[in-house]
Chains A and B, each alone.
Chain A
Amino acid sequence: SQQGEEDPQALSIQEGENATMNCSYKTSINNLQWYRQNSGRGLVHLILIRSNEREKHSGRLRVTLDTSKKSSSLLITASRAADTASYFCATDGNDYKLSFGAGTTVTVRA
């Protein structure tokens, strides 16, 4: 079974707008990561946030983590057409494997 669940399943926004997606998980984690997948190809690592961190930034990405609610959010600011992709959260527990959610598909309209 998958640990993380992303919400929404799909998101369509205009270029320049912000995109926000959420991830909820069930068990305690060491860290949480976000990945991007373009057109059914390999995943690209975006950002990792440790369980003792609450917020992290990387370029146009902002990730928050609330371990009390077992949830995380990914914000992409000033979206571009190249941001069109599927975004996955992945949690890392104590068994050295990542558990991925089903992903959020983001479409950025020109």
Chain B
Amino acid sequence: EAGVTQSPTHLIKTRGQQATLRCSPISGHTSVYWYQQALGLGLQFLLWYDEGEERNRGNFPPRFSGRQFPNYSSELNVNALELEDSALYLCASYITGQYHEQYFGPGTRLTVT
């Protein structure tokens, strides 16, 4: 069974630009979560998508947005990039109705210069 995949692995952008990160969940998983992990810190919840709908979002400004496609893959967009957006962005998927064990992808390392 293929795991959660994320692309790209690394992304370098300059301040003010836009970044698009992609995530493909495990086959059969309908929920996708996005997290931000700044260097040396824990994970901060960003967004939760389930069945194509945004179900919950964390305490992040509106320039962090995303969507979930009919095949349950997801995209995270970060507009007007700021230096402090530099972080590892992790995507996780899980099967709705289970005990909420999440399966994580390898992450996208975003660097804003």
**Central interface residue in B43, B88, B102, by most chain A CB within 10 Å:** B43
Cβ–Cβ < 8 Å partners of A43 in chain B: 43, 90, 92, 102, 104
Counting residue pairs across A and B whose Cβ atoms lie within 8 Å, the total is 61
B105 at the A/B interface (Cβ < 8 Å)?
Answer: yes
- Size of the B side of the interface (Cβ < 8 Å), in residues, is 26
B48–A96 touching, CB < 8 Å? yes
A42–B104 touching, CB < 8 Å? yes
Main SS at interface, chain A: strand
The range of chain A's interface size is 20 to 34
Q: Mark B10-53, 1 if CB is under 8 A from A, else 0.
A: 00000000000000000000000101010001111100100000
A selection of 19 A-B contacts at a CB cut-off of 8 Å is: A31-B99, A31-B100, A33-B101, A40-B88, A42-B90, A43-B43, A43-B90, A45-B102, A48-B101, A96-B56, A96-B100, A97-B33, A97-B48, A98-B100, A98-B102, A100-B35, A100-B42, A100-B44, A102-B41
Residues in chain A within 8 A of chain B (CB atoms):
2, 30-31, 33, 35, 40-45, 48, 50, 88, 92, 95-103
